């Protein structure tokens, strides 16, 4: 890809967290952000201020068609609708030839942009395997992270160039596997946050102050993640289920029924998953748990 192609003007569609974070990082990396488009004018202007580049614009503005690259950074469910609106800007079988359209949706393939491909555009998807709870966090977290890429060759090349500019690692994914890929991210990030919030609530009931609980949980989870990376799931797994300490697990269940009874089914489900990972689901595991009054079938 030539230097001229790498710096082609970009239109960011979607002024939310991912659009702002990627826009700011790309602009800092030498990519020209020409437009920021969206439905909410206030949000679009706010995004332009954060990115430091770009003309605030609506999706129906004909000037938007002058961009060479379109980055759709909306919610997953809005990508197809945005593609339909963009298609109205330039009509004709080859009207989009030479343009690249990427979306950041993790659960859908680039085929959701098929309407633009039929008019000549190169289409692709570019999804960061990273959490972006705010534009500021995204600016920090998206540097050096992993990115799943799929789509047409020209789109993949452009996406790969962007990832290199951000110091990240690009890897290919197949369209038919996007949902499983995205499911893996869902299981890890929001689920861990939910479990940490539950742990914090239990610590609060145990009279541990928040000023101690949150940094303590951060350190604990970070070390756990390090162990998983270095050892794999089975070897990194610790706790009473791995040791076969069913008496402690019974104490857990009793305490949890008093502290947060709605979380008991979650605890049972997690315990079953732990036992499968530790390969203790057979043999003496269920018999011993039954002996101490733990019935996993109730989950």
| Distance (Å, whole) CA 267 – CA 199 | 12
Q: Is the pLDDT of residue 1 over 50?
A: no
pLDDT at 147: 98
- Report d(CA 217, CA 193) in Å as an integer: 11
Q: Could you please state the CATH topology (level 3) that the domain comprising 3-173 is classified under.
A: Rossmann fold (3.40.50)
Give the pLDDT band of residue 28 (cuts 50, 70, 90): very high
- Distance between CA 54 and CA 4 in Å, rounded? 19
Token pair of 70 as six digits: 């379109």
Residue 214, CA distances (Å) to 35, 42, 130, 206, 227 in order: 40, 34, 21, 14, 20
Mean pLDDT of 118-142: 96
Q: Which token pair is 219? A: 């350190």
Q: Say what the pLDDT of residue 5 is.
A: 40
Predicted confidence at residue 293, as pLDDT, reads: 53
CA distance 134 to 154: 30
Q: Residue ranges of the domains in the chain?
A: 3-173, 181-298
**Cβ(265)–Cβ(226) below 8 Å:** no
CB 26 within 8 A of CB 87: no
- Rounded Cα distance between 213 and 187, Å, is 23
* Confidence (pLDDT) at 93: 87
Q: Which ranges of the chain would DSSP assign to H, the alpha helix?
A: 3-6, 17-28, 41-51, 79-87, 114-117, 135-141, 153-165, 178-205, 210-231, 233-236, 240-243, 246-259, 264-278, 284-291
User: Does the pLDDT of residue 299 top 60, yes or no?
Assistant: no
pLDDT at residue 298 greater than cutoff 60: no
Closest CA to 171 of 130, 142, 137, 128: 128
Does the pLDDT value for residue 20 go beyond 50?
yes
pLDDT in tens, 237-296: 999 988 889 999 999 999 999 999 999 999 999 999 999 998 864 445 555 555 445 565
pLDDT digits (tens, 9 = 90+) for 195-207: 999 999 999 999 9
The C-alpha atoms of residue 159 and residue 150 are separated, in whole angstroms, by 9
- The one-character DSSP state at 133 is S
Question: How far apart, in whole angstroms, are the C-alpha atoms of residue 73 and residue 285?
Answer: 47
CATH number at 181-298: 1.10.1040
What is the predicted pLDDT for the residue at 283?
Answer: 44
> Which pLDDT score is estimated for 92?
85
pLDDT of residue 119: 95
d(Cα 24, Cα 33) in Å, to the nearest integer?
9
DSSP one-letter string for 230-243 = HH-HHHH--SHHHH
Q: How far is C-alpha 186 from the chain's CA centre? A: 7
**Cα separations in angstroms, 179 against 25, 103, 113, 184, 185:** 27, 15, 17, 9, 10
Nearest to 126 by CA among 181, 81, 78, 68: 181
Token output for 283: 């043999």
Q: How does pLDDT run across 139-188, given as a tens digit for each residue?
A: 999 999 999 999 999 999 999 999 999 999 999 999 999 999 999 999 99
Condensed to tens digits (0 to 9), the pLDDT of residues 38-94 reads 999 999 999 999 999 999 999 999 999 999 999 999 999 999 999 999 999 998 889
């Amino acid at each position: 890809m030539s230097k001229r192609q790498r710096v082609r003007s970009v239109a960011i569609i979607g002024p939310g967290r991912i659009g702002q974070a990627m826009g700011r990082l790309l602009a800092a990396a030498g990519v020209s952000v020409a437009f920021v488009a969206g439905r909410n004018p206030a949000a679009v202007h706010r995004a332009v201020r954060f990115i430091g580049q770009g003309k605030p614009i609506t999706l129906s503005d004909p000037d938007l068609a002058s961009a060479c690259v379109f980055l759709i950074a909306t919610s997953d469910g809005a990508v197809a609708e945005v593609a339909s609106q963009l298609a109205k800007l330039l009509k004709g079988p080859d009207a989009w030839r030479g343009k690249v359209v990427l979306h950041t949706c993790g659960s859908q393939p680039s085929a959701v942009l098929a309407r633009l491909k039929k008019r000549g555009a190169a289409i692709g998807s570019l999804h960061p395997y990273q959490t972006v709870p705010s534009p500021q966090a995204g600016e920090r977290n998206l540097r050096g992270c992993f990115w799943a890429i799929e789509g047409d060759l020209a789109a993949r090349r452009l996406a790969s160039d962007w990832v290199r500019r951000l110091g990240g690692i690009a890897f290919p994914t197949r369209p038919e596997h996007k949902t499983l890929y995205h499911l893996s991210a869902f299981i890890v990030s929001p689920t861990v946050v939910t479990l940490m919030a539950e742990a914090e609530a239990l610590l609060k009931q145990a009279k541990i102050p928040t000023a101690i609980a949150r940094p303590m949980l951060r350190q604990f989870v970070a070390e756990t993640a390090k162990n998983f990376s270095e050892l794999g799931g089975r070897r990194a797994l610790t706790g009473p289920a791995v040791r076969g300490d069913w008496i402690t697990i019974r104490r857990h269940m009793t305490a949890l029924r008093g502290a947060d009874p709605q979380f008991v089914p979650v605890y049972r489900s997690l315990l079953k998953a732990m036992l499968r990972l530790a390969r203790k689901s057979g043999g003496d595991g269920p018999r011993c748990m039954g002996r101490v009054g733990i019935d996993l079938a109730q989950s």
